[in-house]
């Protein structure tokens, strides 16, 4: 069992989990990271798909990252040196509800190469990661944490346990666990994340509306980007469309095919997007932080179990990294 060889566990292989695991490793722990997905990234996600025009990679979650602090800037520098990140000098604009187009603020934006999840892969390099493992609950106690998975298997004991699920999933996990986690549950319950309906499309002819990416005000669309305009991308022209939080809430249970039709029609009306030859929808239930918690990380009374994520700080990828670092350092004591 993995738990027989490791003394710390991290649930979630996104930016927060990677940062936390790295901090624990630097402090002398031997962490293992578990994730329910087939690969790392969380919302730093890249969809690989076969289309009538061949294989494509489309970033359908976080579109780019920026760095304001030294810690995240250091990760991006490391990723750039490894060839897994590059600066994105995009033609980024804002499109008003009336159609007015204005250049967006000039700032350094970075993307993973060949996909956004490459940045997380760099952060996890050298760490033990187990994919396809959905954590269900925890039992035991300080110094003896045991994680049960939905396949019935158990890993542990772990001296430290870090949880980086979105708030709703964290609450469900802790509610089914043994122990007093009332404070952690209350803080998670107070946080709020907005959903996002995303649509990925592939075009069979060149299309240049005068921008590489756009923030859109009013209507159902909030973001549109030509993903193959990013560094390190190959293949046919592909776009990603993100719906606004309000539209996404109103269409949370809308069938994927209908979401595709509605958002493609909206993009055609707003900036002339042609009819795609391939399209696919993805629903992000927990996409963007609207109400954060009041501290970078949460700890139980023993300070051996805690939680982290962008929802602790705010709606930026860097916030997830900072929260994970804070939790890892706090757990390391």
Task: For residues 20 and 22, give the distance between their C-alpha atoms in angstroms, rounded to a whole number.
Answer: 5
Task: For residues 130 and 12, give the distance between their C-alpha atoms in angstroms, rounded to a whole number.
Answer: 10
Asked whether 164 and 296 are in contact (CB, 8 A), the reply is: no
| CATH architecture assigned to 1-36+132-191+292-333 | 3-Layer(bba) Sandwich (3.50)
Label residue 55 exposed, middle or buried (CB < 10 Å: 0-12, 13-18, 19+): exposed
Phi, psi of 158 (to 5 degrees): -120, 135
Asked whether 130 and 34 are in contact (CB, 8 A), the reply is: yes
Asked whether 85 and 111 are in contact (CB, 8 A), the reply is: yes
Task: For residues 270 and 273, give the distance between their C-alpha atoms in angstroms, rounded to a whole number.
Answer: 8
Tokens matching residue 226: 């030509």
pTM attached to this predicted model: 0.94
Tell me the pLDDT band of 98, cut-offs 50, 70 and 90. Answer: confident
**3 state DSSP class of 283:** strand
Q: What is the pLDDT of residues 108-148, one digit of tens each?
A: 999 999 999 999 999 999 999 999 999 999 999 998 999 99
Task: For residues 252 and 14, give the distance between their C-alpha atoms in angstroms, rounded to a whole number.
Answer: 24
Q: What is the pLDDT of residue 200?
A: 99
State percent of the chain over pLDDT 70: 98
For residue 6, pLDDT beyond 70: no
| Domain parsing of the chain, residue ranges | 1-36+132-191+292-333, 50-63+88-112+193-290
**3 state DSSP class of 100:** coil
Give the CB-side neighbour count of residue 272, counting CA atoms within 13 A: 7
Task: For residues 118 and 18, give the distance between their C-alpha atoms in angstroms, rounded to a whole number.
Answer: 12
**3 state DSSP class of 98:** coil
Task: For residues 326 and 217, give the distance between their C-alpha atoms in angstroms, rounded to a whole number.
Answer: 35
Task: For residues 27 and 17, give the distance between their C-alpha atoms in angstroms, rounded to a whole number.
Answer: 15
Q: What is the pLDDT of residue 107?
A: 83
Neighbours of 178 (CB within 10 A): 12
| CATH architecture assigned to 50-63+88-112+193-290 | Alpha-Beta Complex (3.90)
Q: What is the CA radius of gyration of the chain?
A: 20
Tell me the pLDDT band of 22, cut-offs 50, 70 and 90. Answer: very high
């Amino acid at each position: 069992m993995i738990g027989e060889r490791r003394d710390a566990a991290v649930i979630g292989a996104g930016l927060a989990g990677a940062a936390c695991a790295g901090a624990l490793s630097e402090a002398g722990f031997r962490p293992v990271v578990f994730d329910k997905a087939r690969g790392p990234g969380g919302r730093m996600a890249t969809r690989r798909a076969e289309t009538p025009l061949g294989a494509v990679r489309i970033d359908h979650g976080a579109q780019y990252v920026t760095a304001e602090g030294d810690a995240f800037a250091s990760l991006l520098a490391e990723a750039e040196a490894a060839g897994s990140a590059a600066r994105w000098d995009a033609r980024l604009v804002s499109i008003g509800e009336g159609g007015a187009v204005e250049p967006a603020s000039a700032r350094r934006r970075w993307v993973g190469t060949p996909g956004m999840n490459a940045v997380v892969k760099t952060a996890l390099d050298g760490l033990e990661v187990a994919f396809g493992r959905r954590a269900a609950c925890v039992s035991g106690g300080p110094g003896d944490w045991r994680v049960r998975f939905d396949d019935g298997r158990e890993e542990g004991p772990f001296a430290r346990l870090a949880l980086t699920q979105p708030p709703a999933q964290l609450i469900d996990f802790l509610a089914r666990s043994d122990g007093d986690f009332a404070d952690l549950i209350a803080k998670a319950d107070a946080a709020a994340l907005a959903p996002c309906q995303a649509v990925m499309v592939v075009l069979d002819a060149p299309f240049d509306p005068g921008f590489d990416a756009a923030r859109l005000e009013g209507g159902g669309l909030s973001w549109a980007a030509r993903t193959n305009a990013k560094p390190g991308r190959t293949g046919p022209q592909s776009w990603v469309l993100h719906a606004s939080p309000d539209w996404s809430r109103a269409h949370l249970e809308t069938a994927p095919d209908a979401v595709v039709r509605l958002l493609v029609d909206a993009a055609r009306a707003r900036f002339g997007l042609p009819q795609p030859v391939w399209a696919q929808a993805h629903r992000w239930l927990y996409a963007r932080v609207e109400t954060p918690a009041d501290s970078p990380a949460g700890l139980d009374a023993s300070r051996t179990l805690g939680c982290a994520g962008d929802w602790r700080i705010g709606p930026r990828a860097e916030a997830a990294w900072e929260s994970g670092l804070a939790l890892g350092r706090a757990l390391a004591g």
